[in-house]
């Protein structure tokens, strides 16, 4: 959600894209891939006309015929109506994610679900585990203002890779280092480009952050770095925590994490000595079966030293609670029937293949209406997702900008606008601004916005809801008015609103978001999600990860690549050229053990399938950890199975969440 300055060359063309200089978080900086957005907007392969599949989905090459919008809409409405009468509207599953982050274009599908009484979606693919872990202690999703990183003397990037995923963080860190000689610590299972810049890189085993956090807290209590007055005033259960941590010191954590006690002691000492330490909590370390527990454990640190009390101190995971938006109309919340089934989006593979638990006694899924996401590639157990999408009795509609792997398996493909071609409003999570993006250019061909499509379907299906009657701009205006913000025109003209609250509020000095306003060291997991069985009462190493075994002795982290945005930009020539090809980064000792040759083919596999790609020797991991940066489309892997073939669709506890970086695998040379 960087603020952008976009050069407009004509009604149809953009030129260069820059980070907005007058936006104090973006600060003129954006990542390379977004600065090349023109390549994506004006790409020759953009979908520009509605398409109908004319050959069986099981044929290797899809064939589509071009049709008018009227014809495409008729086909969809006819099929949906037939399914509604034979299997009920719950057999239709509108499925979306965050290809656009605009609230109107992204979340309108929720209104469609509610108004049409279709199966609903539990959104778990990205933030569910991290949200659960952060809210466990804080009771809200809000934290230190990211611009205050510049006032910090120790910045800890924990389980994220901002050089790849959020380059603005690096800009603010660079300022702190230049101006105050601030230290940078990175906690990550591989030497990322972020870790390369660190004063200390804690290269731990994936899924062991709970142990590291416990050992650091042990030292903070042991060496008198705990702020007793702060603990007394602002936290709950600190005595129980201190007692619990006595047996969880650096030796214990070294065995679990694979780090040395020296490294752990060093980090704990720096953290203890620095009043204004700033932890930037990433998503990456929450993408494990124990991810919520690990997120909670790491988020306890500033509550022990009282770092929250100091400008530049505290922690930031996300800021979504500061916008207080009333999304009733956009999301159709007023017509949401709680008795209608909700399916976990990360379990789309098992769900499409008839898994009883996911279907909850309801009808099988007979139709999908997909916007803003590419589940054939991005979702766990992707071989199962594809098997499901190949069902001849499944009717799939994909509204897309490009012929993605998901679109290739659709019955109807509809061309979508891009964010510069429609109006929308955006909240941020890494910064604090609410921003409006107006349509700047006309879309090519017959591309239509998500909102337009939903309006057309609603009209033809006879769905009544005020949200379908309003234009995009009117929806934005209505949202702002209901939420107590100025009107859309005003917000747009002033370049958005900085919704940051006071230092005291952002840093929880007026109390945390929990009912008793205290930070909770012993969370009530049962209140956060339906599946809290076995979760530890206090921060700990929770041994539920997909541990290495004799059969699957290695652990895979399937992290995001720098030049792609999930699978967006995998279609642009420059991004592809810079990423080259999918690579398995393996420790040289592992290559020897498993007879894998550098720069030669390797097969990675487990019970879910097998993936073939080139191996590359890499010393920036512990022995036993394999890294694959992606998310490459399937065709770039030999044999056509992408990296998420290996990732399990198990739901993280307590409230779901995909476990992308928690995968035991074997490796063999492939010839």
Ligand X SMILES: Nc1nc2c(c(=O)[nH]1)N[C@H]1C(S)=C(S)[C@@H](COP(=O)(O)OP(=O)(O)OC[C@H]3O[C@@H](n4cnc5c(=O)[nH]c(N)nc54)[C@H](O)[C@@H]3O)O[C@H]1N2
**Which DSSP string corresponds to 580-604?**
-S-EEEE-HHHHHHTTPPTTSEEEE
Strand 14-19 relative to strand 51-53, pairing: unpaired
Q: Smallest distance, Å, CB 507 to ligand X?
A: 21
Q: Smallest distance, Å, CB 442 to Mo ion?
A: 30
Residues 202-241 that bind ligand X (CB under 6 A): 206-207, 209
- Closer CB to ligand X, residue 93 or residue 230? 93
How many other C-beta atoms lie within 10 A of the C-beta of residue 516? 10
- Closer CB to ligand X, residue 118 or residue 166? 166
Residues 95-154 that bind ligand X (CB under 6 A): 97-100, 105, 125-126
Partner touching 512 among ligand X, Mo ion, none, CB below 5 to 8 Å by kind = none
Beta bridge partners of 399: 371, 414
Q: Smallest distance, Å, CB 125 to Mo ion?
A: 7
Residues 433-462 that bind ligand X (CB under 6 A): 450
Task: Assess contact for 576 and 568: CB atoms under 8 A.
Answer: no
Q: Smallest distance, Å, CB 487 to Mo ion?
A: 31
Q: Smallest distance, Å, CB 214 to Mo ion?
A: 27
Q: Which stretch binds ligand X (CB under 6 A): 238-246, 315-323, 399-407, 584-592?
A: 399-407
Specify the 3-state DSSP secondary structure of 314.
strand
CA Rg value for the chain: 25
Beta bridge partners of 340: none
Q: Per-residue x/- mask for ligand X, residues 176 to 205, rule CB under 6 A?
A: -----------xxxx-x-------------
Q: Which stretch binds Mo ion (CB under 5 A): 122-130, 344-352, 433-441, 456-464?
A: 122-130
Strand 154-158 relative to strand 277-281, pairing: parallel
Q: Which residue is nearest to Mo ion (CB)?
A: 126
Beta carbons within 8 Å of 364's beta carbon, 6+ residues apart: 87, 91, 354
Beta bridge partners of 8: 14
Q: Which two tokens stand for residue 4?
A: 């952008």
Residues 549-588 that bind ligand X (CB under 6 A): 557-562, 564-568
Q: Does 645 bind ligand X (CB under 6 A)?
A: no
What does the alpha-carbon distance between residue 506 and residue 400 come to, in Å, rounded to a whole number?
38
- Closer CB to ligand X, residue 418 or residue 596? 418
Q: Which stretch binds Mo ion (CB under 5 A): 119-127, 396-404, 537-545, 622-630?
A: 119-127
Taking every pair of Cα atoms in the chain, the longest distance, rounded to a whole number of angstroms, is 72
Beta bridge partners of 556: 626, 663
Partner touching 523 among ligand X, Mo ion, none, CB below 5 to 8 Å by kind = none
Q: Smallest distance, Å, CB 34 to ligand X?
A: 9
Partner touching 300 among Mo ion, ligand X, none, CB below 5 to 8 Å by kind = none
Task: Assess contact for 431 and 319: CB atoms under 8 A.
Answer: yes
Partner touching 160 among ligand X, Mo ion, none, CB below 5 to 8 Å by kind = ligand X
Task: Assess contact for 30 and 167: CB atoms under 8 A.
Answer: yes
Residues 255-274 that bind Mo ion (CB under 5 A): none
How big, in percent rounded to 5, are the helix, strand and coil portions of the chain?
40, 20, 45
Q: Which stretch binds ligand X (CB under 6 A): 115-123, 276-284, 358-366, 601-609?
A: 276-284
What does the alpha-carbon distance between residue 524 and residue 530 come to, in Å, rounded to a whole number?
12
What does the alpha-carbon distance between residue 45 and residue 38 come to, in Å, rounded to a whole number?
13
What count of Cα atoms within 13 Å lies in the side-chain half-sphere of residue 227? 23
Q: Smallest distance, Å, CB 327 to ligand X?
A: 17
Q: Does 631 bind Mo ion (CB under 5 A)?
A: no
Q: Which two tokens stand for residue 108?
A: 């309108």
Among positions 126, 343, 454, 488, the unique one binding Mo ion when judged by CB under 5 A: 126
What does the alpha-carbon distance between residue 79 and residue 367 come to, in Å, rounded to a whole number?
9
- Closer CB to ligand X, residue 135 or residue 400? 400
Q: Does 378 bind ligand X (CB under 6 A)?
A: yes
- Closer CB to ligand X, residue 370 or residue 603? 370
What does the alpha-carbon distance between residue 19 and residue 22 come to, in Å, rounded to a whole number?
9
- Closer CB to ligand X, residue 512 or residue 564? 564
What does the alpha-carbon distance between residue 372 and residue 565 come to, in Å, rounded to a whole number?
13
How many other C-beta atoms lie within 10 A of the C-beta of residue 29? 20
Q: Does 631 bind ligand X (CB under 6 A)?
A: yes
User: Which residues of this chain interact with Mo ion, rule CB under 5 A?
Assistant: 126
User: Which residues of this chain interact with ligand X, rule CB under 6 A?
Assistant: 97-100, 105, 125-126, 158-161, 164-166, 187-190, 192, 206-207, 209, 282-285, 287-288, 371-374, 378, 399-402, 404, 416, 450, 557-562, 564-568, 630-631, 643-644, 647, 660-661
């Amino acid at each position: 959600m960087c603020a952008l300055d976009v050069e407009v060359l004509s009604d149809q063309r953009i030129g260069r894209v820059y980070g907005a200089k007058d936006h104090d978080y973006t600060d003129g900086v954006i990542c390379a891939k977004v600065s090349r957005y023109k390549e994506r907007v004006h790409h020759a392969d953009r979908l520009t006309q509605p398409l109908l599949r004319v050959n069986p989905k099981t044929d290797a090459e899809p064939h589509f015929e071009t049709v008018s919008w009227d014809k495409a809409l008729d086909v969809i409405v006819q099929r949906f109506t037939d399914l509604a009468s034979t299997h009920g509207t719950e057999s239709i599953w509108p499925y979306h994610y965050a290809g656009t982050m605009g609230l109107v274009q992204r979340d309108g599908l929720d209104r469609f679900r509610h108004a049409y009484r279709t199966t609903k979606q539990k959104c778990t693919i990205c933030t569910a585990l991290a949200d659960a872990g952060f809210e466990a202690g804080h009771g809200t999703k809000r934290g230190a203002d990211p611009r205050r990183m510049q006032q910090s003397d120790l910045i800890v990037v924990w389980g994220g890779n901002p050089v790849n995923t959020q380059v603005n963080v690096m800009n603010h860190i660079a300022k702190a280092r230049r101006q105050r000689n601030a230290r940078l610590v990175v906690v990550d299972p591989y030497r990322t480009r972020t870790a390369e810049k660190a004063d200390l890189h804690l290269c731990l085993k994936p899924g062991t952050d709970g142990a590291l956090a416990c050992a650091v807290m042990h030292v903070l209590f042991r060496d008198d770095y705990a702020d007793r007055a702060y603990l007394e005033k602002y936290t709950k259960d600190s005595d129980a925590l201190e007692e619990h941590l006595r047996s969880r010191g650096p030796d214990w954590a070294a065995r679990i994490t694979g780090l040395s006690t020296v490294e752990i002691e060093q980090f704990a000492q720096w953290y203890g000595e620095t009043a204004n330490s700033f932890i930037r909590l990433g998503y990456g370390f929450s993408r494990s079966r124990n991810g919520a527990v690990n997120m909670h454990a790491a988020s306890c640190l500033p509550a022990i030293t009282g770092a929250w009390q100091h400008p530049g101190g505290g922690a930031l995971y996300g800021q979504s609670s500061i916008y207080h938006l009333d999304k009733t109309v956009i999301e159709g919340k007023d017509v949401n029937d709680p008795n209608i089934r909700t399916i976990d989006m990360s379990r789309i593979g098992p769900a499409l293949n008839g898994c009883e638990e996911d279907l909850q006694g309801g009808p099988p899924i007979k139709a999908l209406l997909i916007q803003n996401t590419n589940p054939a590639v991005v979702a766990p157990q992707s071989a199962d997702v594809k098997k499901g999408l190949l069902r001849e009795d499944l009717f799939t509609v994909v509204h897309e900008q490009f012929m993605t792997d998901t679109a290739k398996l659709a019955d109807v493909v509809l061309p979508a606008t891009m964010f510069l071609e429609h109006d929308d409003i955006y909240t941020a999570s890494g910064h604090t601004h609410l921003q409006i993006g107006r349509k700047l250019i006309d879309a090519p061909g017959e591309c239509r916005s998500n909102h337009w499509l939903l309006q057309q379907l609603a009209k033809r299906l006879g769905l009544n809801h005020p949200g379908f009657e309003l234009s995009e701009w009117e929806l934005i205006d209505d949202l702002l008015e209901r939420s107590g913000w100025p009107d859309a025109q005003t917000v747009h003209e002033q370049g958005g609103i900085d919704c940051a609250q006071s230092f005291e509020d952002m840093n929880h000095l007026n109390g945390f978001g929990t009912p008793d306003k205290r930070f909770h060291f012993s969370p009530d997991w049962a209140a956060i999600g339906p599946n809290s069985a076995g979760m530890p009462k206090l921060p700990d190493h929770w041994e539920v990860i997909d541990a290495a075994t004799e059969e699957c002795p290695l652990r895979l982290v399937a992290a995001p690549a720098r030049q792609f945005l999930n699978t967006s930009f995998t279609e642009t020539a420059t991004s592809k050229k810079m990423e080259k090809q999918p690579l398995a980064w393996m420790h040289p000792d592992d290559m020897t053990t498993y007879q894998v040759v550098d720069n030669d083919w390797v097969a990675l596999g487990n019970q879910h399938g097998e993936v073939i790609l080139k191996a590359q020797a890499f010393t920036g991991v512990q022995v036993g950890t394999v890294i694959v940066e992606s998310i490459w489309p399937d065709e770039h892997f030999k044999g056509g199975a992408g990296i998420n073939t290996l990732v399990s669709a198990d739901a993280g506890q307590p409230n779901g969440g995909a476990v992308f970086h928690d995968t035991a695998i074997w490796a063999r040379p492939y010839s």
